[in-house]
Amino acid sequence: MTSTTLHDLRWIEPSKTRHYLNEDYGIFSWLLTKDHKRIAILYMISVSLMFFVGGFFAFMLRLELLTPEGDLLTSDTYNKFFTLHGVVMIFFFLIPAIPAVLGNFLLPIMLGAKDLAFPKINLLSWYVYMVGAIFGLYVIISGGVDTGWTFYTPFSTQFSNTHVFATTFGAFITGFSSILTGLNFVVTIHRMRAPGLTWFRLPLFVWSMYATSVVMLLATPVLAITLVLLMIERTLGVGIFDPALGGDPVLYQHLFWFYSHPAVYIMILPAMAVISECVAAFTRKKIFGYSFVAFSSLAIGFLGFAVWAHHMLVAGISVYSAMMFSFLTMLVAVPSAIKVFNWTATMYKASVSWMTPMLYVLGFIGLFTIGGVTGLFLGALGIDIHVHDSYFVVAHFHYIMVGGTVMAYLAGVHYWWPKITGRMYPEWWARLSALLVFVGFNLTFFPQFILGYVGMPRRYHAYAPEFQVLNVLSTAGATILAVGYLLPMVYLLWSLRFGRKAGPNPWGAVGLEWATTSPPPKENFHETPVVTWDAYDYPAFLRAMGETQNV
Amino acid sequence: MMLLFDFPLFPEQASTVARDVDALYLGLVALTGGVSLLIWLVIFYFAIRYRRRPENELAQEEEAPKSLEMAWTIIPTLIFIGIFLAGAYVYFHVMRAPDNALDVYATGRQWMWKFQHPTGQREINTLHVPVNRPVRITMASEDVIHSLWFPAFRVKADVLPSRYRTLWFQATKPGRYHIFCAEYCGTLHSGMIGWVEVMEPTDYQRWLAGGTEGSLASQGEKLFQKYACNTCHTGDNTGRGPNLAGVYGKPVLLSDNTTATADDNYIRESILNPQAKIVQGFAPVMPTFQGQVSEDELIKLLAYVKSLGVQATPAPAVESPRSFVTAAGSPNNPGAQPPAATTTTSTTTQNGTHP
């Protein structure tokens, strides 16, 4: 029978047999698991917790900024809160979120493998992450840190008397979790693809994860080195960055951004990975220009290493290096633009579904476009001199990190929720929360572009009274955004028990993860799949599925 | 520029470069806004026009024409390079100070801005400058990294504890504009703010005539004696140290046969870290003054060495009758300069008022 339709696939009765969730019970079956899917769940719980911790700080900052005077928090508390917001969100949420949760769960399944190449290292990376996170939580409980997440010297090494050591040590440790995950992914993608799954049949998710992993492997050690040097200077007084000890504070910024700019791509490439999958699934179409999208991920990963000093255009680099980094910054925008054009073109003559993940995708494209083009403003030297270290920058990177990465994470969580849990989320609540997130986000961050150009510096506890109206708008938006983020917490947990049971392929999508049961068995597939279709090739996939079911 | 409501949506435009920066900014807003809007309209149109219906459960497959891919790779690249060139063009204006700029010195410290004028005026968190005249600020930090930002002038530069940096502007409208610290510097970062008072030339002259302790160079000369620099730098060729007359701005032959230009940073380094560059023919015997000479005093010593430099060559044309060149060496206040200026003493103006 070759007339398998998408409708048939969607309503196959969920597996009553064993799957990875009911394979074992008990706390140790989770804490000592080597199953990439269970480790993904552990990560999901941890990063969600950290997201709400970081979100709490953000909300307190917005409340403080309702009025020009510094009246709700003291200056020291405010400084600690924006530092902790940055540290928690970047090191403990954004960097691990998509790779360690969705990547961990999906990568082996998309490759038709039973697990990652090194399951024990995978579990180790979660424990390493947790040790780093515990350092972070210790800092929060014991009094905080006030250096900003960038730990600029000599403030961090000689002047701050907060918990700089514990924080940087936490970030240092967490870095190893990234390195281990990256290593695991690279080896798995090279060595564990199913028969027939050639490089150019790989889902674009895998291409992007591959680029992300390479960046993680090459960039994170530089962060580790930098933080070690910082800790040495702070504790032992060895002069590296402090000019009073013969060091150079600008050197610190070079080293820090040599990691932290590629880290931006560690955060956004996985988001692009999710968006490519969702666009293909919710347009039921092959991604337009597959190879261009795939290679643009590698180009971003490669060029991402060559633009770090655009964070330092007013910091004291020479006119000529500023010119070079400005030029390279313009080039790194090209592959991102290519992706947006290709996603758009994919929708032409497609079958566009308006389900929640697609709403997040549309939101992502809109917000990422704004984030991307405002990056061009910042890369243009004449403008950067004015808006550097202003709210314009704050708005820009939140459009990329929150409007991009968090939107994509939510798209991915909704898209793969039936696969991960075997249950559907409630569609209308999810659509409502997607709408709230989109509206709340824009109201929060768009006014900040204007604020920055008008002249409000970032990291200001108190500000000039003429900036108040835009700040009130921003805080109002943050309130809506908070509701938008809390809603999924409620209805996703609700759906674990009360959600409609999902079939193996509730969306009628193409991909190996939709060719197994929901939730998948512990070994992912009952028999090793053989891939006979190109990525997102609906007719070929349906034919292959039809044959499988007729066996 | 436009006050649509009772709050500004656009900053005051009060310097020569502000016009260029704003033109580039608004041009980019129009260009990127237009393109983004186009993309969103196309996406929205596709999302509605090709929404899922029973007759299109599966999309029609289209072969991707390579020409389209090449077009939206190459065209954006060219546009982005154009943006780079426009940005670099404005940047050169922002970075290159005119030769006739009036010199002002700034010191950042947690959490205040100190400004010193060549004529000897010192101010905290307030800076008086004349309108329509280029002003160059040479600055350093006493502690952590700060950043001096004049939003109305569209200029900013980080202020480092390791070396001098400069920025310049030419104000075009008399008035009072914000000064902000833009680089996070600790507890009262958001309190490290002030006002720049742009004055009509006549008002500025009147302000300059106010109280002073002598020109910066003359204050530097006193420090030169206080720190006993003159015991080695005797001013002739018999001293243990090089003769500083005529050195400023000139190439200096070093002991390793390289040359260095005796600019602001060279002089600063020679005081704080004398062993870094040894002038040929001299022994490396000078002790370091790191930790002994404050940033304020360094600026005065620098002004003094500069004044020695211009004595040997014809002075460049400077319009101000009391510019720091002509005022050099005319001490009108014999009182000793307090060492390591504290934050509250001997400032001519504070809080925006002036005598």
Q: Which of B59, B147, B187 sits opposite A76 (nearest CB)?
A: B187
Across the interface, do A243 and B32 touch by the CB < 8 Å criterion? no
Average pLDDT value for chain A: 93
Name residue B169's beta-bridge partners. B135
pLDDT one-digit tens code per residue, B112-139? 999 999 888 889 999 999 999 999 999 9
The reply to whether B38 touches chain A by the CB within 8 Å rule is: no
Give the pLDDT mean for B233-250: 83
What band does B295 get if pLDDT is binned at 50, 70 and 90? Answer: confident
- Which of B29-38, B48-57, B328-337 is predicted least confidently? B328-337
What's the confidence (pLDDT) of residue A166? Answer: 94
A246 three-class SS: coil
Q: Which of B11, B87, B163 sits opposite A453 (nearest CB)?
A: B11
pLDDT one-digit tens code per residue, A144-156? 999 999 999 999 9
What's the confidence (pLDDT) of residue B78? Answer: 96
- Domain extents for chain A? 32-550
What band does B197 get if pLDDT is binned at 50, 70 and 90? Answer: very high
The reply to whether A229 touches chain B by the CB within 8 Å rule is: no
Across the interface, do B58 and A351 touch by the CB < 8 Å criterion? yes
How many angstroms separate the CA atoms of A178 and A217, rounded? 8
Q: Is the pLDDT of residue B87 over 50?
A: yes
The reply to whether B294 touches chain A by the CB within 8 Å rule is: no
What band does B210 get if pLDDT is binned at 50, 70 and 90? Answer: confident
Measured from the Cβ of residue B70, the count of other Cβ atoms closer than 10 Å reads: 11
What's the confidence (pLDDT) of residue A147? Answer: 94
pLDDT one-digit tens code per residue, A301-330? 999 999 999 999 999 999 999 999 999 999
- Of B330 and A369, the one with more pLDDT: A369
Q: Is the pLDDT of residue B316 over 50?
A: no
Nearest by Cα to B332 from B212, B208, B204 = B212
Q: What percent of chain B has pLDDT over 70?
A: 83
The reply to whether B97 touches chain A by the CB within 8 Å rule is: no
Across the interface, do B190 and A146 touch by the CB < 8 Å criterion? no
C-beta separation of B24 from A382 below 8 A: yes
The reply to whether B163 touches chain A by the CB within 8 Å rule is: yes
Across the interface, do B144 and A326 touch by the CB < 8 Å criterion? no
The torsion angle over the Cα atoms of residues A79, A83, A85 and A86, rounded to 10 degrees, is: 140
Q: Is the pLDDT of residue A535 over 50?
A: yes
What residues have CB less than 8 Å from B49, skipping those under 6 apart?
none
Tell me the one-letter amino acid at B244. L
Q: Is the pLDDT of residue A16 over 80?
A: no
Interface residue of A81, A155, A354 to substitute, partner B, most B CBs within 10 Å: A155
How many angstroms separate the CA atoms of B175 and B172, rounded? 9
DSSP letter string, A224-240 = HHHHHHHHHHHHH---S
* Residue with token string 């409007």: A403
B60 φ, ψ to 5°? Answer: -80, 140
Phi/psi region, residue A536 (left: phi>0; alpha: psi -120 to 50; beta: rest), is left
Q: Are strands B112-116 and B146-150 parallel, antiparallel or unpaired?
A: unpaired
C-beta separation of A481 from A438 below 8 A: no
Residues of A in contact with B291 (CB under 8 A): 244
Q: What percent of chain A has pLDDT over 90?
A: 87
What band does B225 get if pLDDT is binned at 50, 70 and 90? Answer: confident
pTM of the predicted structure, to 2 decimals: 0.88
pLDDT one-digit tens code per residue, A247-304? 999 999 999 999 999 999 999 999 999 999 999 999 999 999 999 999 999 999 999 9
C-beta separation of B145 from A249 below 8 A: yes
Residues of A in contact with B191 (CB under 8 A): 75, 462
What's the confidence (pLDDT) of residue B117? Answer: 92
The torsion angle over the Cα atoms of residues A310, A312, A313 and A315, rounded to 10 degrees, is: 180
C-beta separation of B304 from B223 below 8 A: yes
Of 1.10.3720.10, 2.60.40.10, 1.10.580.10, 1.10.760.10, the CATH number of B216-327 is: 1.10.760.10
Q: CATH homologous superfamily for A32-550?
A: Cytochrome c oxidase-like, subunit I domain (1.20.210.10)
C-beta separation of B98 from B168 below 8 A: yes
Q: Is the pLDDT of residue A384 over 50?
A: yes
**What value, to the nearest 5°, has the Cα angle with vertex A303 and ends A300 and A309?**
125
Topology annotation, domain B102-212+344-350: Immunoglobulin-like (2.60.40)
Q: Is the pLDDT of residue B328 over 70?
A: no
pLDDT one-digit tens code per residue, A422-445? 999 999 999 999 999 999 999 999
- Which of A177-191, A342-356, B52-66, B118-132 is predicted least confidently? B52-66
Across the interface, do B87 and A292 touch by the CB < 8 Å criterion? no
Determine whether B67 is exposed, middle or buried from the number of CB atoms within 10 Å of its CB (0-12, 13-18, 19+).
exposed
Q: Is the pLDDT of residue A542 over 50?
A: yes
C-beta separation of A79 from A162 below 8 A: no
Which residue on chain A is closest to B11 by alpha carbon?
A: A454
Which residue on chain B is closest to A538 by alpha carbon?
A: B58
- Domain extents for chain B? 11-45+69-96, 102-212+344-350, 216-327
What's the confidence (pLDDT) of residue B6? Answer: 59
ipTM of the predicted structure? 0.91
Nearest by Cα to A276 from A193, A212, A370 = A212
Which residue on chain A is closest to B7 by alpha carbon?
A: A466
CA A267 to mean position of chain CA atoms:
4
The reply to whether B41 touches chain A by the CB within 8 Å rule is: no
C-alpha distance from B216 to closest chain A C-alpha (Å): 25
Across the interface, do B154 and A385 touch by the CB < 8 Å criterion? yes
